[in-house]
C-alpha cells in the first residue's frame, strides 16, 4: 500500500492509505469513447462491406471464371478468356461500344451547352426569373421511367408531335422506331431534363463579380463578348464538373434506352427488345444487362463491368489532366 498525506481539514500527522485499482490499471475514458465510435460506425462499415466491397470482389472473381447464374455445374477458372471474348467473339459488344461513344461525344456537350445557354438567358430576365428557373428545373424531377414513357407517347409515329408537324406539311420521322432517329430522340429527352445542370450554371453565373462586367463594358464589350471573356472563364470549374459527371453518367447510360427499346417494340422475346430498333439503342450497360440477366453469362457480364470501370477511370484521369488548360480557379491559377 501507498502512504499519502492527509488532505486539508484533517488532523496533522494522520495518514491515509490508497488501495490500488483492481487489475492494477484503470480503464482509460478515451478507450470507452472508442467503443462508442466503433458501435456507431459499425452499421455503415458492415453495410459497405456487404453491399460494396463483397460485390466488387465477387465480380472480379466471376470475371475470371465461366460462372453462369442458375447453373449447377462446377465453376472453372478461365483466366482472361472472358476479356478476350469481348473483343474477338461478340459483334453486339462493338455495336454497344459505338452507340455509347456516340452518346458521350454528342449528348454530353449538347446537354451541357443547352443548360449553360438557358441559365444565361434566365439570369438576364428582370422579372419572373424564379418562375422561369422553376419551369426549366421541374422536368429534371420527373422519374426517369415516367419521362421515357411520356416521350414514347409524345414521339409516337402517330403521336401528338407528328400530328402537329403534319398540320404544317412536314412528315414526322419514326423517332424511336427509326434507327436514324432513335438516338437523337434520347438526346432530345436529355435536353428536356437538363434543369438540374441549368440551376448549377445559374448559381455560378450569379456569383461572378459585377465589377468584371463593368470593366468589360468600359472596354466596349457586348453581351456575347462579356460571356466569352468574363462569364465563361469564371464558371469554367462548373463547366468542367458538368462535363465530367455527364461523361461518367453517359458511359453507364441504361434506363432511358432500356425503357425506350422495350416499349417501342412488340417482339415477344425479352432479349430481342433490348437495342431496338436494329441495335441503335444497344448501349454498353444494356448489353451488359442482357448478357448477365438475359443469357445468365455472369462471368462474361462481370468482365464487361470491370472493363467499363477501367475505361471510366482512365477517361476521368485524362479529362482531369486536360482540364488544367481551360479551368480557371478563383485565385487566378489553373
pLDDT in tens, 75-95: 999 999 999 999 998 889 999
pLDDT tens readout for residues 191-221:
999 999 999 999 999 999 999 999 999 988 8
Least confident of 17-21, 110-114, 177-181, 317-321: 17-21
| % helix, strand, coil for the chain, step of 5 | 70, 5, 30
The set of residues, in sequence order, having a beta carbon less than 8 Å from that of 85 and lying 6+ positions away, is: 300, 303
Least confident of 43-47, 126-130, 328-332: 328-332
Q: Running DSSP on this structure, what letter comes out for residue 249?
A: H
- Does residue 273 surpass a pLDDT of 90? no
Q: What is the pLDDT of residue 268?
A: 45
Mean pLDDT on 265-279: 70
- Does residue 246 surpass a pLDDT of 50? yes
70 and 296 in contact (C-beta within 8 Å)? yes
pLDDT tens readout for residues 165-186:
999 999 999 999 899 999 999 9
Least confident of 13-17, 84-88, 256-260, 319-323: 13-17
Q: What is the pLDDT of residue 33?
A: 82
User: What is the C-alpha separation between 320 and 78, in angstroms, rounded?
Assistant: 36
User: What is the C-alpha separation between 259 and 147, in angstroms, rounded?
Assistant: 10
Mean pLDDT on 269-298: 88
pLDDT tens readout for residues 290-310:
999 999 999 999 999 999 999
Q: What is the pLDDT of residue 293?
A: 92
pLDDT tens readout for residues 61-78:
999 999 998 888 899 999
If one compares 325 and 26, the residue with the highest pLDDT of the two is: 325
Domain annotation for the chain: domains and CATH numbers: 93-284 (1.10.3720.10)
Give the pLDDT band (50/70/90) at residue 289.
Answer: very high
6 and 14 in contact (C-beta within 8 Å)? yes
Give the pLDDT band (50/70/90) at residue 59.
Answer: very high
User: What is the C-alpha separation between 15 and 52, in angstroms, rounded?
Assistant: 63
Q: What is the pLDDT of residue 81?
A: 96
User: What is the C-alpha separation between 302 and 322, in angstroms, rounded?
Assistant: 30
Does pTM top 0.95 for this prediction? Answer: no
Element housing 39 (H / E): helix 29-48
For residue 54 the three cell numbers come to 463483397
Q: What is the pLDDT of residue 145?
A: 95
Amino acid at each position: 500500500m501507498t502512504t499519502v498525506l492527509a488532505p486539508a481539514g484533517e488532523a496533522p500527522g494522520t495518514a491515509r492509505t490508497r488501495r490500488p485499482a483492481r487489475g492494477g490499471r484503470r480503464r482509460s475514458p478515451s478507450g470507452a469513447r472508442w467503443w462508442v465510435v466503433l458501435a456507431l460506425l459499425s452499421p455503415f462499415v458492415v453495410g459497405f462491406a456487404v453491399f460494396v466491397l463483397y460485390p466488387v470482389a465477387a465480380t472480379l472473381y466471376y470475371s475470371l471464371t465461366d460462372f453462369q447464374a442458375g447453373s449447377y455445374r462446377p465453376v472453372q477458372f478461365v483466366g482472361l478468356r472472358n476479356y478476350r471474348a469481348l473483343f474477338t467473339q461478340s459483334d453486339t459488344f462493338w455495336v454497344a461500344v459505338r452507340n455509347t461513344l456516340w452518346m458521350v461525344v454528342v449528348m454530353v456537350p449538347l446537354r451541357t451547352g443547352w443548360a449553360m445557354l438557358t441559365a444565361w438567358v434566365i439570369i438576364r430576365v428582370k422579372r419572373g426569373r424564379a418562375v422561369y428557373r422553376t419551369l426549366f428545373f421541374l422536368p429534371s424531377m420527373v422519374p426517369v421511367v415516367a419521362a421515357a414513357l411520356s416521350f414514347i407517347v409524345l414521339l409516337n409515329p402517330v403521336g401528338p408531335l407528328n400530328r402537329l408537324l403534319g398540320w404544317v406539311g412536314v412528315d414526322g420521322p419514326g423517332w424511336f422506331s427509326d434507327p436514324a432517329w432513335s438516338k437523337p430522340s434520347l438526346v432530345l429527352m436529355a435536353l428536356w431534363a437538363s434543369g438540374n445542370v441549368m440551376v448549377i450554371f445559374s448559381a455560378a453565373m450569379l456569383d461572378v463579380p459585377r465589377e468584371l462586367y463593368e470593366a468589360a463594358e468600359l472596354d466596349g464589350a457586348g453581351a456575347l463578348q462579356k460571356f466569352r471573356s468574363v462569364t465563361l472563364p469564371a464558371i469554367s470549374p462548373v463547366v468542367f464538373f458538368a462535363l465530367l459527371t455527364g461523361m461518367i453518367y453517359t458511359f453507364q447510360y441504361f434506363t432511358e434506352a432500356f425503357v425506350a427499346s422495350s416499349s417501342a417494340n412488340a417482339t415477344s422475346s425479352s432479349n430481342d427488345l433490348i437495342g431496338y430498333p436494329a441495335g441503335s439503342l444497344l448501349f454498353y450497360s444494356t448489353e451488359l444487362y442482357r448478357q448477365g440477366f438475359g443469357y445468365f453469362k455472369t462471368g462474361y457480364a462481370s468482365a464487361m463491368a470491370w472493363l467499363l470501370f477501367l475505361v471510366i477511370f482512365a477517361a476521368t484521369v485524362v479529362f482531369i489532366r486536360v482540364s488544367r488548360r481551360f479551368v480557371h480557379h478563383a485565385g487566378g491559377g489553373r
